[in-house]
């Protein structure tokens, strides 16, 4: 059974710092991996999608990597800003073409001015 | 930018009452989903829907739950007889294809009293 874990559960950094959020999954047979941002009481905003055949994806200050063999993904945020404060979720799509996502519990990031 | 819209944003209901949560997925998408997030817990998959039928459902999605696409634009989740433990944020999501980026709505907070 696929399980997704995110460490740390919470992270506080000063503005301007580069940071890495970690995601691990137990079964390397994934279809793809998606990173989301969730603001308190709000929906999930898709940040990046990495297909299982890809190693990384970039969008602006965000870079996500995927290492299927070790069951890990990282989300790198460059030059963090207070507006980046949110909970970041990773989720894997399992094979089977139903698009079902299995989520980690998230890392809550606070960027202090 | 196209988005998934959900109504109501918040609903309070008495235990045992029926609730219908409504969603308008992104217009050219083919896959539709419901997820839920109990306060402080992981986002959990409930059901995926494709080609007018359920393609996968979780153990949570028991006989009290049902989904329907009554017309070309709406996708609904019905909870027949609500329980206290059904209190959660319910997210609707959609994707163009099963392995593509999945887009989430803002969620519907359901409080069962």
Full pLDDT tens readout for chain A, 113 residues: 899 999 999 999 999 999 999 999 999 889 899 999 999 888 999 999 999 999 999 999 999 999 999 999 999 999 999 999 999 999 999 887 688 899 999 999 999 99
What pLDDT was estimated at residue B72?
Answer: 78
- What pLDDT score was predicted for residue A95? 81
Strand segments, DSSP code E, in A1-113 are 4-7, 10-14, 19-25, 32-38, 44-51, 56-59, 62-67, 72-77, 86-93, 101-103, 107-112
Name the minimum distance, in Å, from the CA of B43 to any CA of chain A.
6
Q: Do the Cβ atoms of A40 and A56 come closer than 8 Å?
A: no
A94 lies within 8 A of chain B by CB: no
Measure the CA–CA gap between A72 and A68, rounded to whole angstroms.
Answer: 6
Cβ within 8 Å of B, A 20-49: 31-32, 34, 36, 41-46, 49
Mean pLDDT score, B17-33:
95
Q: B24 touching A, CB under 8 A?
A: no
Highest mean pLDDT of the ranges A75-84, B69-78, B97-106:
A75-84
Which of the four pLDDT bands, split at 50, 70 and 90, describes residue B19? Answer: very high
Q: How many residues does chain A have?
A: 113
Contacts of B60 in chain A (CB under 8 A): none
């Amino acid at each position: 059974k696929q399980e997704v874990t995110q460490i740390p559960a919470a992270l506080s950094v000063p503005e301007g710092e580069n940071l890495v959020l970690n995601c691990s999954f137990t079964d390397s047979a994934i279809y793809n991996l998606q990173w989301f941002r969730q603001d308190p009481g709000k929906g999930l905003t898709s940040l990046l999608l990495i297909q299982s055949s890809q190693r990384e994806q970039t969008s602006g200050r965000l870079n996500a990597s995927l290492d299927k063999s070790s069951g890990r993904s990282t989300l790198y945020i460059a030059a963090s800003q207070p507006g980046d404060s949110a909970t970041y979720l990773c989720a894997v799509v399992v094979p089977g073409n139903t698009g079902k996502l299995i989520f980690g519990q998230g890392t809550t990031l606070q960027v202090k001015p | 930018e196209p988005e998934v819209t959900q109504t109501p944003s918040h609903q309070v209901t008495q235990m045992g009452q029926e609730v219908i949560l409504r969603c308008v997925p992104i217009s050219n998408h083919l896959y539709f989903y419901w997820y839920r997030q109990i306060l402080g817990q992981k986002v959990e998959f409930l059901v995926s829907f494709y080609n007018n039928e359920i393609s996968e459902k979780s153990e949570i999605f028991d006989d009290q739950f049902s989904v329907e696409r009554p017309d070309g634009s709406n996708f609904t989740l019905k909870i027949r007889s609500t329980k206290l433990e059904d209190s959660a944020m319910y997210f609707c999501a959609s994707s163009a294809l099963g392995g593509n980026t999945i887009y989430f709505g803002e969620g519907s907070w359901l409080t069962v009293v």
